[in-house]
Structure 1
Amino acid sequence: MRRTPARRLFAATLLVASVLAPMALAGSPPVQAAGIDRHDSCARDCLDPALRARLDRAIEDVREQAGIPGAVVGLWMPGKGNYVRASGVADTATGEPMAADSYVRIGSETKTFTVTALLELVDEHRVGLDDPISDYVPGVRNGHRITLRQLAEMRSGLFPYTADADFEHDLLSDPQRYFTPRELLAYGMKHKNTFAPGAEFQYSNSNLILLGLVIEKVSGQRLGDFIHDRVLRPSGLRHTLFPTGPEFPAPHPHGYTDQTLSGETADATCWNPSWAWGAGAMISDLHDLRSWARNVATGELLSPRTQAQRLKTLPTGVPGLSYGLGIFETGGWIGHNGSLPGYETVTVYLPPLKATLVIMINTDSLSGTQEPSTLLARAITRIATPDNVYDGGVSPT
């Protein structure tokens, strides 16, 4: 039976990984070693060969069973070594191999950048986390009671615009369409709030659209410009960008999705991500995401007090998964995942080991009920950090 298009992509529910059963690979494409470049320090500091072999096999098992065309995995474990590998294909039509230096769309990992930008304004006393959103954006239902903190924590009760049927139809009918932030909010504002502010957790992209508008109003800059000037440039992230349309730097893999009106798989590489804006429009690469993982977890751009508030994660209702100010914690790993048509990513940091894990794949099509990037992260951490297994992530953008 064909899956109802879009509903699972935009439902904004929580997903928890299950372990894929071992499966023999028959004729599977070999793992491609990443080139010896700025991405791969393995020539100097590799993980133990036996551990690398186990990771190679685990990644291929998941990729085969979950139908992932191509994957890039980076794992950095100080004192033990590094692991950077690209496997599979970037283009199913030509068979072009996946490359470790690819750019990808990072979906909801954008939230970590948007919330960092907001927290910089908090440190400058230009906004307060407990300010009501009505102080900055008029017309938000119950906005006098919903705080910026609750928006960043996904506890506002605002209906997620991506779950609106009209939005789903409008996006999938014309994936090249440009959406404005106000247009996006209008889809969600048709619906009543789902609970009282602070009462529950609900992953809602409406929250991040509002926080983006707060940043624009207070800073006087476009959101993408503010993030570039105040977050990307100080962090040295030269391969990360906030696109204004479907532009996509090369090299990048083709991205494949089954979230279409017909239910058939489509190439979503050049779909316009304006519909995700401050919740999920950004692009990055392995090198930058590695740096960003540590930055987010350690608060390099923020005051200690503000970073401590960011890391105060709260239960989500899913065992092993808690959410803070634009970040989650699962199995001790801190960071975020991302998923939007054609691409999924995971960027997380494990403070006790100072370890970093980055995963980039070129599909968002579920394997059963599971996101393929979550399956990969779980399989990798079961081997590399068995005391700290990545148990799950928040839903697609």
Structure 2
Amino acid sequence: MRWSATALLVFALVVGCSGGGESPAPTPTTPASAQAFPEPGTGTLDPAKAKALQNVVDMVIASPDAQTGSRGATAAVVTDRWTWAGAAGTDIRGTPLRPETAMAAGDITMTFVAAEVMLLAKAGKVDLDKPISTYVPHKLTANNATVRQHLSMTSGVPDFGGDDYRELDKAIAAAPGRHWTLEQTLSYHTARIGAPGSDSGYSNASYQLLGLLIEKVTGEPLAGRLRRDLATPAGLKHAAFQDGEKPQPPAVVDHNESCGEPDGYLPCRAFASAVAAAGGLAADAPTVARWGYQLYGARVLPADLVSEMTKGDGPNGLGTELFGNILDIGAAFGHGGNNPDHTSVMVVVPAKKVSVALMVADGSRNIGTMVQDLTKALQPLLN
């Protein structure tokens, strides 16, 4: 089992898009103030036009062992006029994938956690500029970094170290069906904490702490709160916040060495609950694409909150990765997800009112090249 931060995925998305990775990463552009999107389109893309998108998905499985390939892939597009979804290949057990097959969406979970924190701030229950220790007394909050700094990966609290992850692996392998609390996962963190406001790098630990904040402020389990405030209003019928919820069929069946036999969670209950606030989401590509459209289209959060989430001079907004103009169809943002068995990305281009999701049935793949191929095929369909 590998615990891979999405930082690797972002590098692939920003640099790997050039193929050889020699071009410098473009500076992310700060989006203009968010504008609400109309209702997601309900039309079906003409089959002749859809073939160009399906061809990209088919290409992914043509070289399953390559960094830009996979044994299986699903993709979806949501626009203000039409939607499309496609699939190719199989999961690791050889079961053919369908567009509605759920996979582990990994760090895309962070967009839900950040959106919930923004709602709590809007309601006056959380102050983004107060130390997170106001709400979550913990050894990792003792440096007085603010809630906003944890949202933007500038808290000074780094990710778990390599030895931390190895110890977590051992504990999960010893009892893969066990439920983990966020506090139990955080107890394994031993990496040195820096000053608040400093670049902490990509930090799953910050989002575990933000998950704790949500639970402590609301008095409710994280999964239930995200379901009520975000997933239900957004119309997400095939998303599961593990392990508070179990993935609904159809879903891939993993074969993870640390997890043993499948137990209905992705990849197993212990892993899914151990990373709940940073990477516990399981969903299919159409659901992920719809979530991107609803969230960044200011349909589940007010536009002023979306604007806050998508501003920043570096690679991160608040719970959002800023991709700049790397896809050639307009400034983009969203989030990637990397998990031992799956790699995914959600990209939203507000100027085009389009959300794209791509998920592959292998971990740590260069999904940046794949999504660039998909958006190239998509571009003429948006004009």
Which residue pairs with 2:75 in the alignment? 73
1:310-357 residue CA offsets vs partner (Å, 9 max, x unmatched): 111231xxxxxx211101121322111112222222122111111221
Question: By how many angstroms is 1:228 displaced?
Answer: 1.2
Which of these residues, 304, 325, 328, is aligned with residue 321 of structure 2? 328
Q: 5+ residue gaps in structure 2?
A: 21-40
Contact 2:57/2:73 (<8 A) preserved: no
TM-score normalized by the length of structure 1: 0.76
Which residue pairs with 1:192 in the alignment? 192
- Kindly tell me: are residues 288 and 84 of structure 1, through their superposed partners in 2, closer, same or farther at Cα, counting changes over 3 Å? closer
Q: Distance in 2 between matches of 1:14 and 1:149?
A: 23
Question: By how many angstroms is 1:55 displaced?
Answer: 2.6
RMSD: 3.2
Give the SS at the match of 1:307.
helix
Question: By how many angstroms is 1:104 displaced?
Answer: 1.8
Which residue pairs with 1:292 in the alignment? 291
TM-score normalized by the length of structure 2: 0.78
Give the SS at the match of 1:196.
coil
User: Is 1:152 the counterpart of 2:146 in the alignment?
Assistant: no
Q: Distance in 2 between matches of 1:126 and 1:246?
A: 26
Contact 1:348/1:356 (<8 A) preserved: yes
- Larger relative contact order (Cα-Cα within 8 Å, sequence gap ≥ 6): 2
Moved more, 140-149 or 324-333: 140-149
Contact 1:11/1:162 (<8 A) preserved: no
Q: Kindly provide the amino acid, as one letter, of the partner of residue 268 in structure 2.
A: W
Question: By how many angstroms is 1:206 displaced?
Answer: 0.8
1:68-92 residue CA offsets vs partner (Å, 9 max, x unmatched): 121111234567x654221011354
Which of these residues, 370, 379, 382, is aligned with residue 376 of structure 1? 370
- Kindly tell me: are residues 219 and 375 of structure 1, through their superposed partners in 2, closer, same or farther at Cα, counting changes over 3 Å? same
Question: By how many angstroms is 1:97 displaced?
Answer: 1.5
Which residue pairs with 1:339 in the alignment? 338
Q: Distance in 1 between matches of 2:360 and 2:229?
A: 28
- Kindly tell me: are residues 314 and 62 of structure 1, through their superposed partners in 2, closer, same or farther at Cα, counting changes over 3 Å? farther
Q: Distance in 2 between matches of 1:301 and 1:385?
A: 26
Q: Distance in 1 between matches of 2:283 and 2:242?
A: 11
Give the SS at the match of 1:345.
strand
Q: Distance in 2 between matches of 1:222 and 1:268?
A: 18
Q: Kindly provide the amino acid, as one letter, of the partner of residue 200 in structure 1.
A: D
Give the SS at the match of 1:86.
strand
Which residue pairs with 2:204 in the alignment? 205
Q: Kindly provide the amino acid, as one letter, of the partner of residue 150 in structure 2.
A: L
Which residue pairs with 1:166 in the alignment? 167
Contact 2:180/2:274 (<8 A) preserved: yes
Q: What are the residue-to-residue correspondences of 1:1-397 with 2, within 5 Å?
A: 6=2, 9-10=3-4, 13-15=7-9, 16-17=11-12, 18=16, 44-46=45-47, 48=49, 51-52=52-53, 55-56=56-57, 58-61=59-62, 63=64, 65-66=66-67, 68-76=70-78, 83-92=84-93, 95-141=94-140, 143=142, 145-161=144-160, 163=162, 164=164, 165-188=166-189, 190-193=190-193, 195-244=194-243, 247-255=246-254, 269-272=266-269, 273-315=272-314, 322-330=315-323, 331=326, 332-364=331-363, 366=364, 371-385=365-379
Which residue pairs with 1:389 in the alignment? none
Which residue pairs with 2:38 in the alignment? none
Contact 2:45/2:84 (<8 A) preserved: no
Q: Distance in 1 between matches of 2:79 and 2:233?
A: 25
Contact 1:274/1:281 (<8 A) preserved: yes
1:176-213 residue CA offsets vs partner (Å, 9 max, x unmatched): 3432111111111x3321x3212214111111111111
- Kindly tell me: are residues 298 and 255 of structure 1, through their superposed partners in 2, closer, same or farther at Cα, counting changes over 3 Å? same
Contact 1:134/1:140 (<8 A) preserved: no
- Kindly tell me: are residues 52 and 44 of structure 1, through their superposed partners in 2, closer, same or farther at Cα, counting changes over 3 Å? closer
1:214-267 residue CA offsets vs partner (Å, 9 max, x unmatched): 11111111111111111112222122121226943211122356x869xxxxx9
Which residue pairs with 1:29 in the alignment? none
Q: Kindly provide the amino acid, as one letter, of the partner of residue 131 in structure 1.
A: K
Q: Distance in 2 between matches of 1:226 and 1:53?
A: 36
Give the SS at the match of 1:251.
coil
Give the SS at the match of 1:309.
helix
Q: Distance in 2 between matches of 1:88 and 1:384?
A: 21
Q: Kindly provide the amino acid, as one letter, of the partner of residue 99 in structure 2.
A: A
- Kindly tell me: are residues 254 and 41 of structure 1, through their superposed partners in 2, closer, same or farther at Cα, counting changes over 3 Å? farther
Q: Distance in 2 between matches of 1:281 and 1:289?
A: 14
Question: By how many angstroms is 1:124 displaced?
Answer: 0.5
Q: Distance in 2 between matches of 1:302 and 1:134?
A: 25
Percent of residue pairs bearing the same amino acid type: 24
Contact 1:162/1:205 (<8 A) preserved: no
Q: Distance in 2 between matches of 1:136 and 1:45?
A: 51
Contact 2:240/2:246 (<8 A) preserved: no
Question: By how many angstroms is 1:303 displaced?
Answer: 2.8
Q: Distance in 1 between matches of 2:236 and 2:57?
A: 28
Contact 1:89/1:98 (<8 A) preserved: yes
Q: Distance in 1 between matches of 2:56 and 2:50?
A: 10
Give the SS at the match of 1:106.
strand
Contact 1:45/1:82 (<8 A) preserved: no
